[in-house]
Chain A
Amino acid sequence: MLETNVPAHPSRMGGAARGEIALALGMLCLSSVVLWQTLEIPVSPIYARVGPTIIPMITACGLGALSLLLLVSAVRGGWQTDEEKEYTPDRVALSWLVVGMLANILLIEPAGFTVASVIMFTLAARAFGSLRIARDAAIGFAFSLSAYIGFARALGINIGAGPLERGLESLFKLI
């Protein structure tokens, strides 16, 4: 986006800080979305001295002004601490986690809470460097199934039943 030339330091461009600039621009985008959505709020003719758009408008302007201040500070070299600046995040670990969360979102309705949780648990443990997949899956299974049963039995809340949970339920009934 802003990569005009390859800087000497991966996260530096002259005096400006790339990460911070992206962040400030992101916030600027957010503030314009907030502004746009504020203008979309329908104002009914109901009698109210202060309408539903005033505080959102102040919020949009506040966010916009602050993001400009952040942008200035980013262009001047950013504010990230030296320690964070030096550190390159472990992209592999983050990817494992993101995959785990995505899997959870996609699976929780069709496959049920337990299965989705076990998969996320195992992937998250992998993100933190665990290679004992079977052990992690077993711990995750025990943890999430007991949570499921706890909710279902003690409070009567169903926290997402899938084929596994329904199978267990009917097994309980037969016994």
Chain B
Amino acid sequence: MDSLQHLASGFAVALTPINLMWCLIGCTLGTAIGVLPGLGPALTIALLLPITFKVEPTAAFILFAGIYYGAMYGGSTTSILLNTPGESATIVTALEGNKMARGGRAGAALATSAIGSFVAGTIGTLGIAFVAPVVVDIALKFGPADYFSLMILAFVTVSAVLGSSAVRGLSALFFGIWLGLIGVDLQTGQARFTFGLQELLDGVNVIVVAVGLFAVGETLYMASRRLSGGDEIIPLRGSLWMTKEEWSRSWKPWLRGTALGFPIGAMPAGGAEIPTFLSYFIEKKFSKKPEEFGHGAIEGVAGPEAANNASAAGVLVPMLTLGLPTSATAAIMLSAFQSYGINPGPMLLTTQPQLVWGLIASLLIGNVMLLALNLPMIAIWVKMLQIPAPILYAGILVFATIGTYGISQSPIDLILLYLIGAVGYLMRRYDFPTAPVIIGMILGPLAEQNFRQAMTISAGDWTVFFTRPLSASILLLAFIAVAGPKLYELAKARKSDPALAKS
């Protein structure tokens, strides 16, 4: 096959000692910035752009590829250990991952996330190599109406994190939607809910909210209950690595997460967060132990982690096949192409095969490197949980500040972080789930914008959501996801003994 030959030549490019070194530097740096909340791969690559004046293109892209994948690995580490998500795509990981870590299974959570990331990253990268043109054709068929339906489907996943009360869960969801609406409206340029503060015109950063709710809120809560000592962290229970049961509970979520993440990542407005939500929802539905969800279910780490890495690979599909940047990181990588005088576009693959295939090969190599870097690190990371509470929580607080203040240098963001932290504390004390806030904040504005784009394009015709085949089928899926289980139960109840004595 042609692609195989190209891939082999790509490996020839990537496997030189100097390029391997760049790959290693990239992976290490990527992991480090992934760990820091707020500092993402886009910003890091932007800051490293001047390097394009000093090194040859292949080396620079291999470095960038390492940073890109590395950040996805690093982001989950702090989610799991400190409940402080480093990237918005790893927020879902914190839900089950941190619960696992507190229960002494940090090692297993980190391992399933690293291996899941590896599996998804590898399959995703192979997907770039072999099926990219097909995937991108389908992805471009998605218009705003179809995206809106996809968001509706993703909203269904809220039901998996509502907690013990629908009213409280929905309150959290609406609070999140409101937070997401703050800022200048994309469609009409009007400021909404900015209270006259210029700093709020660009909206509230979802990482600030996630870190505030999870990390700062948690710190306040733990301090308030310091004397009871009821919720202590168990650094390690059982084996450091994954047990046989944990393996068998992980591999299917890895594959399902990959299957969700890659295509959605390849869609121009898909993003990395939506597949993690969907994956979490599906894993909870499919799990043999759904009752463990919310208390540290390994499927809830394995699935979303695979989904976010697969979507990271998916994002590269439109970038490499069409020269279309659909995420901030892709946009910056494309501008790096430009500083070499390479114009990324639909011809990129034909005009620069060496570069593109070298990049794909180094993504594969980077994945192996990241796995090799991350697995031995687990033993060290787990030790972090043995740090005495005063230092650990004080450290988390400073850490949250670095991410928030370091990027914007605006005290307003710090005030916001701590205020959201206080909200997080109250939510914890009064048994409100916090995850719906994040889901609402990410999906709310996306759904709104796509809805309005669709309505403008259709000149106000509401039926567009049902007449477009893609949109209609996604809505049908959403309907099945909501009503399906109930209908199924109803049908089963009718079939079996109508007396229903054993329930």
With an 8 A cutoff between CB atoms, is B198 at the interface?
Answer: no
Q: A66-B167, A128-B394 are in contact. Are A157 and B406 (CB under 8 A)?
A: yes
Asked if B394 and A121 sit within 8 Å, CB to CB, the answer is yes
Q: Is A115 part of the binding interface, using a Cβ–Cβ cutoff of 8 Å?
A: no
**A42 and B444 in contact (CB under 8 A), knowing A59-B174, A62-B170, A79-B165?**
no
Minimum CB–CB distance for A102 against chain B, Å: 8
- Chain B 359-389 residues near chain A, CB threshold 8 A: 388-389
Chain A residue, CB-CB nearest to B451:
A50
**Cβ-defined contact, B170 with A155, below 8 A:** no
User: What B residues does A136 contact at CB under 8 A?
Assistant: 390-391, 394
Give the shortest distance, in Å, between A157 (CB) and chain B (any CB): 6
- B262-303, CB < 8 A from A: none
Q: Select the stretch in A2-10, A87-95, A163-171 that faces chain B.
A: A87-95
**Contact of B225 with A90 in the complex, beta carbons under 8 Å:** yes
- Does A73 lie at the interface of the complex (its beta carbon under 8 Å from any beta carbon of B)? yes
Within B180-226, the residues touching A (CB, 8 Å) are 181, 185, 187-193, 195, 219-220, 222-226
B460 within 8 Å of A (CB atoms): yes
Report B165 CB to chain A, min CB distance, Å. Answer: 7
| Contacting residue for B414 out of A105, A124, A147, CB 8 A | A105
Q: Which B residues are in CB contact (< 8 Å) with A81?
A: 431
Stretch at the interface among B131-139, B315-323, B395-403: B395-403
Q: Please determine whether B225 and A155 come into contact, CB atoms closer than 8 angstroms.
A: no
Contacts of A154 in B (CB 8 A): 29
What residues of A have a CB within 8 angstroms of the CB of B388 in the complex?
A: 130
Task: Point out the residue from B171, B407, B418, B459 that lies within 8 Å of A27, measured CB to CB.
Answer: B171
A144 smallest CB distance to B (angstroms): 6
B456 within 8 Å of A by Cβ? yes
Instruction: Tell me if B414 and A69 are in contact (CB < 8 A).
Output: no
Say whether B226 contacts A128, CB under 8 Å: yes
The contact of B398 among A96, A121, A151, by CB within 8 Å, is: A121
**Which chain B residues border A101 with CB–CB below 8 Å?**
397, 418, 421
| Complex Cα spacing A96 to B393, Å | 13
Chain B residues in 8 Å Cβ range of A151: 402, 406
Contact of B177 among A43, A59, A104, A155 (CB under 8 A): A59
Q: Within residues 27 to 64 of chain A, which ones have a CB less than 8 A from any CB in chain B?
A: 27, 30, 34, 37-38, 41-44, 46-52, 55-56, 59, 62-63
Chain B residue, CB-CB nearest to A113: B405
A126–B227 alpha-carbon span in the complex (Å) = 13
Q: Across the interface, name the chain A residue whose C-beta is closest to B418.
A: A101
* Residue of B394, B397, B409 most packed against chain A (CB within 10 A): B394
Among B40-55, those with CB < 8 Å from A are 44, 47-48
Decide if the interface of chain B is mainly helix, strand, loop or mixed: helix
Counting CB contacts under 8 A, is B237 at the interface? Answer: no
Complex-state Cα separation, A48 to B451, whole angstroms? 11
Min Cβ gap B306→A in Å is 29
B193 partner residues in chain A, CB cutoff 8 A:
34, 37, 56
Contacts of A93 in B (CB 8 A): 223-224, 226
Is A130 a contact partner of B452 (Cβ separation < 8 A)?
no
CA distance A95 to B68 in the complex (A): 40
Given contact pairs A59-B181, A105-B411, A69 touches B167 in the complex (Cβ within 8 A): yes
Q: Which residues of A contact B190 (CB under 8 A)?
A: 41-44, 52
- Knowing A81-B431, A89-B225, A105-B418, the reply to whether A130 touches B391 (Cβ < 8 A) is yes
Asked whether B426 is an interface residue with its Cβ less than 8 Å from the other chain, the reply is yes
Given contacts A48-B187, A159-B402, 18 further A-B contacts (CB under 8 A): A30-B178, A41-B192, A43-B190, A44-B188, A49-B452, A49-B455, A52-B192, A73-B167, A80-B429, A87-B225, A104-B414, A125-B391, A128-B226, A147-B398, A154-B29, A159-B405, A160-B406, A160-B409
A-B pairs with beta carbons under 8 Å apart, 29 shown: A34-B178, A34-B193, A41-B190, A41-B192, A48-B187, A48-B455, A50-B455, A56-B178, A59-B174, A62-B174, A66-B170, A69-B167, A80-B429, A84-B430, A84-B431, A93-B223, A93-B226, A94-B224, A101-B421, A117-B401, A121-B397, A125-B391, A127-B226, A127-B390, A128-B222, A129-B389, A143-B395, A147-B402, A160-B409
Binding site for B on A (CB under 8 A): 19-20, 23, 27, 30, 34, 37-38, 41-44, 46-52, 55-56, 59, 62-63, 66-67, 69-70, 73, 79-81, 84, 87, 89-91, 93-94, 96-97, 100-101, 104-105, 108-109, 113, 117, 120-122, 124-130, 136, 139-140, 143-144, 147, 151, 154-160
